[in-house]
Amino acid sequence: MKRVQAVLTGAFAFALSVLCIVPFAYVLLRSFWTDGGITFQSYYDVFLGSPQYLFRFWKSLALAVCIAFGQLFISILAGYGFAKYKFPGRNALFFLMMILMTLPVQVMLIPNYLMLSYMDLLDTYAALVLPSVFIPIGAFILTQSFRSISESVIDAAMLDGCGVPRILIWVAVPMNKSGIICVFLLSFLDAWNMVEQPIAYLKDFEQYPLSVALAYVPPADTTAHLVCCMLVILPALFLFTLFNKELVEGIVLAEVK
**Other beta carbons less than 10 A from residue 234's beta carbon:** 11
| Residue pair 136/254 in contact by the 8 Å Cβ criterion | no
Report the share of the chain in percent with pLDDT over 90: 18
Amino acid making up residue 252: V
Whole-angstrom distance, CA of residue 121 vs CA of residue 77: 25
CATH number of 45-256: 1.10.3720.10
What residues have CB less than 8 Å from 24, skipping those under 6 apart? 233
Which DSSP category does 34 fall into? E
Amino acid making up residue 86: K
Whole-angstrom distance, CA of residue 38 vs CA of residue 31: 9
- pLDDT value of position 241: 85
DSSP character string of 115-155: HHHHTT-TTSTHHHHHHHTT-THHHHHHHHHHTTS-HHHHH
- pLDDT (tens place) for every residue of the chain, 257 residues total: 677 777 788 888 888 888 888 888 887 787 777 666 777 777 777 777 777 778 888 889 999 999 999 999 999 999 998 988 888 888 898 888 888 888 888 888 888 999 999 999 999 999 999 999 988 888 988 998 888 888 888 888 888 888 888 888 888 888 888 889 989 999 999 999 898 899 899 988 888 888 888 777 665 666 777 788 888 888 888 888 888 887 777 777 665 55
Amino acid making up residue 146: F
Domain ranges of the chain: 45-256
